[in-house]
């Protein structure tokens, strides 16, 4: 059967058709061939422009004529692939070619729908694939945007939280004094019901005040349970997929994790935020792509290297290194400053909050960068061996302690004279022997001169730090029990596992039961 088809119709049906004459030379071709292969001219041999596969070994296409067997032409110049069958026509052989979808995908080619016959399923398939690709691209961008958004609200919250936290601290101190003082007065006014009634009013008003501070604390995300023991390696592994999305295509993350068996006491949210921050910075430093190395290792740092550590200790070092453009020395020197940013849309809190996180966790962070070679940020966090069950110990779970008969000695430290006065009186009334100090320095002198059973100290004091005092005190008197008290725990105060924590404003009943617990150990087994 011979079908006569007009050339213009042929061009619509098979935009990439080719007609060969009996000697195998190109006689005519469709619009797509003309556009895609401008060097082809009538009279050329097909082998001059294409490699033929799927035909007889000598490239003879006539053997395929009339069969449904397909063959493939691969362009010598741009490797574009054409697939088709062979029909016999009056002029010779008609190659009913069409662009192979593969070429559309492989090169970022300039094929258009017009290169395909109307209704060619390839059109649909190609659109589908392109859409999928486009949406995948978009999805990556969205994940990055959401991460960024989350980050900037975290940073903002962080700032709000600090202000709220400090306010809560002052407020709680005052409330504490009011409550304790009214408890004292109440004991002295046993026979004056009217005055006692007034004291009750003062107390209940103070209680309402502490409810308000509590909401302030919630706002400030002040919780004393946020820090738990975290295996940094596990955390990184668990989030690997998320991290690589943040890094984006074109940026490869290489992981080298070597702190198995070690944990650090940190806020998991803070740790994750810090890493996300660093990854986003690294990514932004490599618009043309590159690689990020995420490495963890243990390093023993000498005494005094970080904070107030006075003996060498082990740290988990997290390193985030990129192969990006690096920073000039003048930029580097300011990199950790809050509100400093080189990015047009940066709020400059990223690196500053990483540093805060590290320091609040009892560690530190540093940055090293060379223009044109990349940037490395190191976060150092105090390492400790992973317990069998990695769980946080709530403050307030003291180990058992042998009972005691004589008046137990308490070293009381608080910078507020009224608080000291109220607490000391209350404790003495409970049968404790109290030594009161208004500063850590004074407390250290007392510790050097006689033994104490319990240290009851405020945490936040002007220029001084109750947790540091407690650490020093425990070294001086290893059997000492520690109760820290505060209306506000600056995040990342490292507390030893057996220290207890009492939130201000102090409730007298809680305080006395906690003291008993410190001396006698928990009543029921844990």
Partner 1 sequence: MYGMIHRAVRQMVLDTRGEATWAEIERAAGLGPAEMISAEVYDDEVTLKLIGATAEILAEPVDALLLAFGRYWISFAERGSFGRILDFTGTDLVSFIGNLDNMHRGVQAVMPDARMPTFHLVDSTPGRLIVSYASSRTGLERFVEGLLLGLLDRFGLTGSVSERPANGHGRQFLLTYSTI
Report how far residue 86's alpha carbon sits from residue 67's, in angstroms, rounded to the nearest whole number: 7
Nearer to partner 1 (CB atom), residue 72 or residue 347: 347
Encode 189-206 in three state secondary structure. CCCCHHHHHHHHHHHHHH
Q: Contact with partner 1 (CB under 8 A): which of 47, 78, 102, 145? A: 145
SS3 content of the chain, % helix, strand, coil (to 5): 40, 25, 35
Q: Contact with partner 1 (CB under 8 A): which of 39, 69, 70, 139? A: 139
For the CB of residue 49, give the shortest distance to partner 1 in the complex, in Å. Answer: 23
For the CB of residue 261, give the shortest distance to partner 1 in the complex, in Å. Answer: 39
Nearer to partner 1 (CB atom), residue 67 or residue 132: 132
Q: How far is CA 463 from CA 10, 176, 258, 441, 459, in A?
A: 90, 21, 38, 11, 11
Residues 91-120 that bind partner 1 (CB under 8 A): 108, 110-114
For the CB of residue 108, give the shortest distance to partner 1 in the complex, in Å. Answer: 7
Instruction: Give the distance, in angstroms, between the CA of residue 85 and the centroid of all CA atoms in the same chain.
Output: 56
Nearer to partner 1 (CB atom), residue 34 or residue 366: 34
**R_g of the chain computed on alpha carbons:** 38
Q: Contact with partner 1 (CB under 8 A): which of 22, 47, 78, 137? A: 137
Nearer to partner 1 (CB atom), residue 273 or residue 486: 273
Strand segments, DSSP code E, in 279-416 are 290-301, 313-322, 364-370, 374-382, 384-385, 409-413
The verdict on 126 binding partner 1 (CB under 8 A) reads: yes
Report how far residue 198's alpha carbon sits from residue 403's, in angstroms, rounded to the nearest whole number: 39
Scanning 60-68, 129-137, 210-218, 261-269 for contacts with partner 1 by CB under 8 A, the matching segment is 129-137
Report how far residue 343's alpha carbon sits from residue 280's, in angstroms, rounded to the nearest whole number: 12
Residues 338-367 that bind partner 1 (CB under 8 A): 345
Report how far residue 289's alpha carbon sits from residue 299's, in angstroms, rounded to the nearest whole number: 30
Scanning 139-147, 258-266, 363-371, 400-408 for contacts with partner 1 by CB under 8 A, the matching segment is 139-147
Scanning 140-148, 182-190, 473-481, 494-502 for contacts with partner 1 by CB under 8 A, the matching segment is 140-148
Nearer to partner 1 (CB atom), residue 33 or residue 381: 33
Residue from 252, 245, 246, 249 nearest 280 by CA: 246
Helix (H) or strand (E) holding 125: helix 121-188
Place of tokens 């596990």: 234
Tell me phi and psi for residue 256, to 5 degrees.
-145, 95
The verdict on 146 binding partner 1 (CB under 8 A) reads: yes
Sheet holding 500-503, edge to edge: 433-437, 409-413, 454-458, 481-486, 500-503
Scanning 133-141, 168-176, 290-298, 467-475 for contacts with partner 1 by CB under 8 A, the matching segment is 133-141
Number of residues in the chain: 526
For the CB of residue 252, give the shortest distance to partner 1 in the complex, in Å. Answer: 21
Nearer to partner 1 (CB atom), residue 148 or residue 196: 148
Q: Which of 31-65 are b and which e, b meaning 16 or more Cβ less than 10 Å from the residue's Cβ? A: ebbeebbeebeeeeebeebbebeebeeeeebeebe
Q: Contact with partner 1 (CB under 8 A): which of 131, 156, 328, 371? A: 131
Residues 477-506 that bind partner 1 (CB under 8 A): none
Scanning 143-151, 162-170, 219-227, 358-366 for contacts with partner 1 by CB under 8 A, the matching segment is 143-151
Scanning 145-153, 279-287, 325-333, 424-432 for contacts with partner 1 by CB under 8 A, the matching segment is 145-153
Number of residues that bind partner 1 (CB under 8 A): 25
Scanning 134-142, 271-279, 318-326, 381-389 for contacts with partner 1 by CB under 8 A, the matching segment is 134-142
Q: Contact with partner 1 (CB under 8 A): which of 142, 160, 212, 339? A: 142
For the CB of residue 346, give the shortest distance to partner 1 in the complex, in Å. Answer: 12
Report how far residue 288's alpha carbon sits from residue 305's, in angstroms, rounded to the nearest whole number: 37
Scanning 142-150, 226-234, 379-387, 499-507 for contacts with partner 1 by CB under 8 A, the matching segment is 142-150
Q: Contact with partner 1 (CB under 8 A): which of 123, 185, 219, 255? A: 123
Nearer to partner 1 (CB atom), residue 124 or residue 475: 124
The verdict on 156 binding partner 1 (CB under 8 A) reads: no
For the CB of residue 131, give the shortest distance to partner 1 in the complex, in Å. Answer: 4
Report how far residue 346's alpha carbon sits from residue 417's, in angstroms, rounded to the nearest whole number: 45
For the CB of residue 145, give the shortest distance to partner 1 in the complex, in Å. Answer: 6
Contact 118, 12 (CB under 8 A): yes
Residue 414 tokens, joined: 């608080």
Residues that bind partner 1 (CB under 8 A): 108, 110-114, 123-124, 126-128, 130-135, 137-139, 142, 145-146, 149, 345
């Amino acid at each position: 059967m011979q079908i006569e088809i007009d050339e213009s119709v042929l061009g619509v049906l098979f935009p990439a058709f080719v007609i060969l004459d009996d000697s195998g030379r190109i006689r005519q071709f469709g619009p797509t061939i003309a556009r895609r292969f401008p060097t082809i001219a009538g009279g050329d041999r097909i082998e001059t422009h294409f490699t033929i596969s799927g035909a007889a070994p000598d490239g003879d296409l006539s053997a395929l004529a009339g069969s449904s067997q397909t063959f493939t032409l691969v362009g010598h110049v741009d490797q574009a692939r054409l697939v088709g069958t062979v029909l016999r026509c009056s002029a010779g052989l008609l190659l009913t070619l069409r662009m192979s979808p593969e070429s559309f995908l492989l090169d970022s080619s300039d094929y258009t729908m017009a290169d395909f016959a109307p209704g060619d399923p390839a059109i649909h398939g190609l659109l589908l694939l392109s859409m999928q690709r486009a949406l995948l691209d978009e999805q990556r961008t969205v994940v990055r945007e959401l991460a960024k958004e989350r980050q900037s609200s975290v940073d903002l919250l962080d700032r709000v939280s600090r202000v709220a936290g400090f306010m809560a601290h002052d407020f709680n101190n005052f409330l504490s004094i009011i409550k304790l003082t009214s408890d004292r007065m109440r004991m002295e006014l046993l026979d004056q019901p009217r005055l006692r009634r007034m004291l009750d009013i003062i107390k209940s008003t103070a209680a309402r005040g502490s409810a308000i501070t509590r909401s302030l604390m919630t706002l400030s995300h002040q919780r004393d349970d946020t820090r738990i023991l975290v295996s940094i390696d596990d955390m990184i592994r668990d989030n690997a997929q998320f991290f690589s999305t943040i890094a984006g295509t074109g940026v490869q993350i290489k992981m080298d994790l070597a702190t198995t068996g070690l944990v650090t006491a940190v806020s998991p949210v803070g740790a994750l935020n810090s890493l996300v921050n660093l990854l986003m910075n690294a990514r932004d430093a490599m618009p043309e792509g590159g690689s990020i190395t995420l490495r963890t290792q243990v390093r023993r740092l000498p005494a005094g290297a970080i904070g107030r550590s006075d003996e060498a200790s082990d740290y988990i070092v997290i390193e985030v290194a990129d192969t990006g453009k690096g920073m000039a020395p003048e930029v580097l020197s300011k990199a950790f400053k809050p509100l400093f940013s080189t990015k047009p849309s940066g709020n400059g809190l990223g690196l500053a909050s990483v540093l805060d996180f590290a320091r609040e966790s009892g560690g530190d962070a540093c940055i090293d960068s060379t223009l044109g070679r990349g940037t490395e940020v190191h976060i150092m966090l105090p390492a400790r061996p992973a317990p069998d069950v990695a769980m946080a110990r709530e403050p307030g779970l003291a180990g058992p302690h042998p009972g005691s008969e004589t008046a137990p000695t308490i070293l009381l430290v608080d910078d507020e004279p009224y608080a000291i006065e109220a607490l000391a009186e209350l404790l003495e009334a409970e049968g404790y022997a109290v030594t009161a100090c208004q500063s850590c320095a004074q407390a250290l002198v007392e510790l050097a001169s006689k033994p104490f059973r319990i240290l009851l100290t405020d945490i936040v004091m002007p220029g001084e730090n109750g947790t540091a005092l407690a650490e020093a005190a425990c070294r001086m008197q290893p059997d000492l029990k520690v109760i820290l008290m505060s209306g506000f725990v600056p995040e990342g105060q490292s507390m030893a596992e057996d220290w207890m924590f009492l939130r201000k404003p102090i409730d007298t009943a809680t305080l006395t039961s906690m003291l008993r617990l410190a001396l006698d150990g928990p009543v029921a087994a844990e």
